[in-house]
Amino acid sequence: MPDSHSDWRAVASLKTLQQRAAMLTAIRHFFLERSVLEVETPLLSHAGNPDTSIESLTSHCSIHGKEQLLYLQTSPEFAMKRLLASGSGAIYQICKAFREEPLTDLHNPEFTLLEWYRPGFDHFQLMEEITSLLQHLGLVEKKSDVMSLGYQQLFDCYAGINPFQATVDELFSVVTENGINVHVASANQAKPGKGFTHDELLDLILTHIIQPQLTQQDFVFVHSYPASQASLARVSEKNPQIAERFELFAKGVELANGFNELTDSIEQARRFQSDSGIREQKKLRKIKYDQHLIDALASGLKPCAGVALGLDRLLMLIAGGNSIREVLAFPFDRA
């Protein structure tokens, strides 16, 4: 008889678990050859990430009789930058990260990240190293197999519009002409009419119009994002409209997000405060931001580039899976 209580069983096959182990071993070998130090930082923090596009998971606990609110990391970025400021040199980490987001074929609240930082690199040099990692993992035969497009070029090619010059009305027209229901597609469905920002409309065009067209491309780097989407990246000194940020897409799926890292403590504090203000306007949960990171940057962080790469999604490529669920031993519903 079939087992009616089979939720205890692993979802990922033994072959997939073996592929994960082989992938992790190969990644560690790659960084060992390059003398990049593997590090470990806390999963729990007294501060979170106020970025309005990311929601943190929290833990309420009592330490020595004192009630505390702690945040599960959305990435190890802040702690790793504190190590860099402490003089660690080039570092990487393979770790769990946590985000409050809907379950989809590409999302699980707990997931595995590979994150690394290269002092002395800019974002273009780091893109080259990522390509070398893909070659090391047998996913790319030669570097020319990986496309690289500027953000403006991407929108020109796949959406027929200049993202830096287009008005909100022009972007809104592109969205609606392509049959996108903006109130279903947008995370904030309470907005009447066109009440979307320039960046929100760019995100809708990217996710609903452009990414589906990238499914035939194995790997595509997109770089030189709008400065308004800099996140934790530097803004270009040559062109203040551009952030020195990139993303890697694999068959249309976002795989990695990287920056020529912001090292200015005053600007970082301003961005945290701006994100906190937007959270308040949108009536989102208040997030305590990381003063330790501000202090670390103030002490002096050498120029560096960093990237976070989703290993569960990478394993989906290696294993030929269609859902993140297929590559996890125990996804959310069986955790």
Give the count of domains, the chain. 1
In a domain, 174, yes or no: no
Q: Residue 275: inside a domain, yes or no?
A: yes
Q: By the 8 A CB rule, do 81 and 41 touch?
A: no
Q: Are 288 and 296 in contact (CB under 8 A)?
A: no
Give residue 303's pLDDT. 97
Phi then psi for residue 254, to 5 deg, are -65, 125
Which residue ranges in the chain fall short of pLDDT 50?
Answer: 1, 187-193
pLDDT in tens, 91-128: 999 999 999 999 999 999 999 999 999 999 999 999 99
| Any domain includes 232 | yes
* Residue 181 pLDDT: 82
pLDDT at 191: 47
The residue range of the domain holding 280 is: 14-146+218-334
In a domain, 86, yes or no: yes
Assigned domain for 84 exists: yes
Task: Confirm whether 99 is domain-assigned.
Answer: yes
Adjacency order of strands within the sheet including 57-63: 44-45, 66-72, 57-63
- Choose among 205, 240, 206, 212: nearest CA to 226: 240
The DSSP-derived string for 131-169 is HHHHHHTTS-SSGGGSEEEEHHHHHHHHHSS-TTT--HH
CATH number, domain containing residue 298: 3.30.930.10
170 occurs within a structural domain: no
CA 2 to chain centroid, in Å, comes to 41
pLDDT for the residue 185: 56
Alpha-carbon radius of gyration of the chain: 20
Q: Residue 83: inside a domain, yes or no?
A: yes
